[in-house]
């Protein structure tokens, strides 16, 4: 599997899977060869993810496990204890530890310092952020002396993230695409259907390929074996420059699936 900044290009999302559903989905992904698993303190499934990895029989070192510090845990009193719990639940250090949502201004730098401290402690092999704007990425990268390897953000053809991608490239930060299928909405545009029909691929393969071909990591979530296999097949073909451009033309700045109230006015600059 190709990697970007050490992160396998295709992973498996686990939100909103809980309990047995999470355990089963992770085991299925692992059985199909996926080693990159995305979880978060917020999802309430780190224990089940850890259990599935242990049950797989593969060494923990063969996995790339990503988890994220919950906004309620970024403060001084909870950060370290919350990460220690994640490490215990996941059966070892996070391969990549992210700050899940941008901290408030007064906590911003301190939260990044705490993230760095977890790396120094060995609780995280690498560190990154999630839902950060270009300016926030720049500030985080400066604060952490270049240690930020990833920004996990919503990324699919309905949302124009070209400015964010250009800034990430300039900063040496890999983007990971969450909700890469826009929870199904990205499969609907006529331009996607027409490319898919012409090249004999499914709309989901075309959407994922468009993401991967830009060097952006994708973490689609699925509970179905046939969908997981189809998602993996996006690694195995190429889109022409014309098809890439036609799909890129669909996106708008308003195309978000996930836009919580606390992010109003914070996606830019």
Indicate whether 181 belongs to the interface with ligand NAP (CB under 6 A).
yes
Indicate the SS3 state at residue 184: helix
Contact 234, 186 (CB under 8 A): no
Q: How far is the CB of 80 from ligand NAP (least distance, A)?
A: 21
Stretch binding ligand NAP (CB under 6 A), from 52-60, 85-93, 134-142, 178-186: 178-186
Task: Tell me if residue 15 is catalytic.
Answer: no
Indicate whether 184 belongs to the interface with ligand NAP (CB under 6 A).
yes
**CA 104 to chain centroid:** 21
Gyration radius (Cα) of the chain, Å: 18
**In 10 A of CB 145, how many CB atoms?**
8
Per-residue binding string, ligand NAP, 57-96, x by CB under 6 A, is ----------------------------------------
- Determine the Cα–Cα distance for residues 205 and 163; give it in Å rounded to an integer: 24
Q: Which of 130, 133, 141, 150 binds ligand NAP (CB under 6 A)?
A: 130
Closer Cβ to ligand NAP, 241 or 261, answer by number: 261
Residues 195-254 that bind ligand NAP (CB under 6 A): 204, 219-224, 227, 230-231
HEC string of 46-96 equals HHHHHHHHHHCCCCHHHCEEEEEECHHHCCCCCHHHHHHHHHHHHCCCECE
Q: Which of 13, 35, 37, 43 is catalytic?
A: 43
- Determine the Cα–Cα distance for residues 9 and 35; give it in Å rounded to an integer: 10
Contact 132, 152 (CB under 8 A): no
Contact 35, 62 (CB under 8 A): yes
Indicate whether 152 belongs to the interface with ligand NAP (CB under 6 A).
yes
Closer Cβ to ligand NAP, 69 or 181, answer by number: 181
Q: How far is the CB of 180 from ligand NAP (least distance, A)?
A: 5
Contact 89, 81 (CB under 8 A): no
Stretch binding ligand NAP (CB under 6 A), from 102-110, 113-121, 173-181, 261-269: 173-181
- Determine the Cα–Cα distance for residues 51 and 139; give it in Å rounded to an integer: 36
Q: How far is the CB of 217 from ligand NAP (least distance, A)?
A: 11
Q: Tell me the residue number closest to ligand NAP, measured at CB.
A: 13
Q: How far is the CB of 100 from ligand NAP (least distance, A)?
A: 6
- Determine the Cα–Cα distance for residues 195 and 191; give it in Å rounded to an integer: 6
Indicate whether 161 belongs to the interface with ligand NAP (CB under 6 A).
no
Indicate whether 192 belongs to the interface with ligand NAP (CB under 6 A).
no
| Residues annotated as part of the active site | 43
> Which residues contact ligand NAP (rule: CB under 6 A)?
13-15, 38, 100, 130-131, 152, 178-184, 204, 219-224, 227, 230-231, 258
């Amino acid at each position: 599997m190709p990697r970007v900044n050490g992160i396998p290009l295709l992973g498996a999302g686990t939100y909103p899977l809980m309990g047995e559903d999470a355990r089963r989905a992770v085991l299925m992904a692992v059985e199909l060869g996926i080693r990159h698993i995305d979880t978060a303190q917020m999802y309430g499934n780190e224990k089940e993810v850890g259990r599935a990895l242990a049950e797989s029989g593969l060494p923990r070192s063969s996995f790339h496990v990503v988890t994220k510090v919950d906004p309620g845990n970024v403060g001084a009193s909870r950060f370290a204890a919350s990460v220690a719990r994640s490490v215990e639940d996941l059966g070892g250090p996070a391969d990549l530890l992210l700050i899940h949502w941008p901290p408030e201004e007064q906590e911003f730098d301190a939260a990044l310092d705490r993230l760095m401290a977890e790396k120094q402690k060995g609780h995280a092999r690498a560190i990154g952020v999630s839902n950060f704007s270009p300016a926030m990425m720049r500030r985080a990268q400066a604060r952490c002396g270049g240690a930020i390897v990833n920004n996990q953000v919503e990324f699919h053809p309905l949302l124009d993230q070209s400015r964010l991608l250009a800034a990430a490239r300039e900063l040496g930060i890999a983007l990971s695409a969450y909700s890469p299928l826009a929870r199904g909405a990205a499969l609907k545009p006529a331009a996607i259907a027409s490319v898919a029909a012409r090249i004999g691929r499914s709309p989901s393969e075309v959407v994922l390929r468009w993401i991967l071909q830009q060097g952006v990591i994708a973490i689609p979530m699925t509970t179905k074996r046939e969908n997981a296999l189809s998602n993996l097949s996006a690694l195995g073909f190429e889109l022409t420059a014309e098809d890439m451009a036609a799909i890129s033309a669909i996106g708008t700045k308003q195309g978000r699936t996930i836009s919580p109230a606390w992010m109003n006015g914070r996606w830019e600059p």
